[in-house]
Chains A and B, each alone.
Chain A
Amino acid sequence: MGIAGNLEIRSVRKHYTVDGNRLQILSGVTFDVGPGHFLSIVGPSGCGKSTLLRLIVGLDNDYEGDILLNGERIEGPSRARGIVFQDHRLLPWLTLEQNIGLSLENTGWNAQAKKEAVRGQTELVGLSGFENAYPHQLSGGMAQRAAIARALVCKPDILLLDEPLGALDAITRIRLQEELLRIWRVEETTMILVTHDVDEAIFLSNEIVVMSSHPGRISKRFIVDLSSPRDRAGNEFIELKRLILAELHLYRQKTQSETENWMNMASLI
């Protein structure tokens, strides 16, 4: 454990049966995530991206195809795969320290090792000094940092992030994106991020997988070959964003007349 994991997803198909009707959620999803890579999955809601993450973490074993971590088919949850949910999901009756320590319950580590690990992880996410605070005393951003620490404390091979910053305000989100990058560089864990924020995906990842819905499938894969630190307002960044938005059918170039209209309006003001 603690080595960056290599994840292979092979023709994964998943359906639910609702009132006797077969509902195809995922259809033939195939992609790899190399060791130490940061891959983002972007797609409209309902495209099955969160379902895919549930399959990878092992909460749902009812699917066709294979999901392999370091060559082994995953079965059920494991310490090798950590997850951060959109809601921080800290247990309100445990202090921050106890919440992070909950990950280490059955590791067989001795008390000293557990304590050290929790302390180190708390420090890494910048929450030192808040060990004894209860979740309701933390801000949304702090709670999400604690959730990241909880997922990382047992040194997983791969960290799954299910829209972890989706519920935060824009400024805290940007801050935490930078934190995530820093943590990724320190831990060198393989990361998979599910998000609906294209900027976030470009800012953080080496690779971006765009999914489309009905049924959920991979529509395109982008390699993000930008130097770091990445300039959110730089030309290359914007150009890639344009491509991804177009892939999501969310982008349309302004026509010449629209641009002129806008210019005229602007000059009036």
Chain B
Amino acid sequence: MSELSIAAYTVDTAEPAVRPDSARIGKFDVGAFARRFGSPIGLILPVLILALWQTAVSCQWVEPVFLPAPRKVLDAFWLMLTKQDLVFDFLASISIVGQAFIYGSAAGIGLGTAAGLSRKFEQFLGTTVDTVRHIPGIAWLPLIVLWLGIGAPAKILVIAKSVFFPLFLNTLQGIRSVEKNYIELGQVLLLTRRQMVRKVILPSAMPSIMVSLRYAAGLAWALVVVAEGLSGLEGLGFLIFRAQGLLLTDQLLVCMVIIGLVGFVVDRLMYTLQCSILRWQQGFKG
């Protein structure tokens, strides 16, 4: 007993060592990656919904023209993939979202940083930004289409605009909420203005920038469907509205499922990126 208590005492007074998960510093954690993409529990609900769908069709609760059987939707997917240009439309949407996301977030982070660092610049932009951002991206589309035509550039511009604002505002906010203590430390360590921004201010704003990147990625993907539905002759959004017009409900559902799944993958990829960039953060892991 006395030996035990001495041992306990030694452990208590010794400085606690690094937490066990330190073993993974700098290494890719496969387990965590898998966890982010969902555990089997997450599959229960989709399976139930699929079963309910099948039951509804089998018992003829709904007319097949409004709700075709899952099997028929799968057939339609195969048809679209092999006989029609589903891959082409899919890539068209992805390319628009990808470009819009890159331009919009680059501009948002860039101008947001500038506004965060200079109150003058923030005041200069303030009125314009706060007015323009209340006009929804989709409301811009008709005008932009008049200027740029129904092709990809108009959609890229409109979606980039919608990506821009969350990033601009969150970058600005992130920079403004840098702890004063850290700035003071930078002064004591004689950091130059440039080093202060790179080593202290931007990393400190990174959590809020990452959150808005993830949010904006989802937003961009949702908007491309709307933008393509409203103008143009390609992309998943175009397909979904065409399917409605032609009463091809099976094709409509194919598009919906694809949009949902891609949105899921995009979100999880952004989350993985967020976790790897912010691995220095001590977060609540549930």
Contact = CB atoms under 8 A, between A and B. Distances in A.
A142 B15 contact: yes
B131 to A, nearest CB: 35
Most A CB contacts (10 A, CB to CB) among B13, B18, B181, B182 go to B18
A89 B187 CA distance: 13
Contacts of A137: 18-19, 21-22
B181 A106 contact: no
B190 A133 contact: no
Interface stretch (B118-126, B200-208, B213-221, B233-241): B200-208
A172 B280 contact: no
Report whether over half of chain A's contact residues are helix, strand or loop; otherwise say mixed. Answer: loop
Interface in A188-243: none
A132 B21 CA distance: 13
Nearest to A79: B190
Interface in A80-137: 83, 85, 87, 89, 91-94, 102-103, 105-106, 130, 132-137
A59 B282 contact: no
A133 B25 contact: yes
A227 B222 CA distance: 75
Interface string B158-182: 0000000000000000000000011
B203 to A, nearest CB: 4
A97 B19 CA distance: 17
Interface residues of B, number: 29
Contact of B181 (A78, A89, A94): A89
Contacts of A92: 280-282
A130 B181 contact: no
B191 interface: yes
A141 B18 contact: no
Contacts of B189: 77, 102-103, 105, 150
Interface of B: 13, 15-16, 18-19, 21-22, 25-26, 181-182, 184-185, 187-192, 195, 199-200, 203-204, 206, 279-282
6 cross-chain pairs, A with B, having the tightest CB-CB distances, nearest first: A136-B282, A93-B203, A139-B16, A93-B280, A134-B280, A137-B18
17 contacts: A57-B188, A58-B188, A77-B187, A77-B189, A83-B188, A89-B181, A91-B182, A91-B185, A92-B281, A92-B282, A93-B203, A93-B206, A102-B199, A103-B189, A105-B191, A105-B199, A150-B189
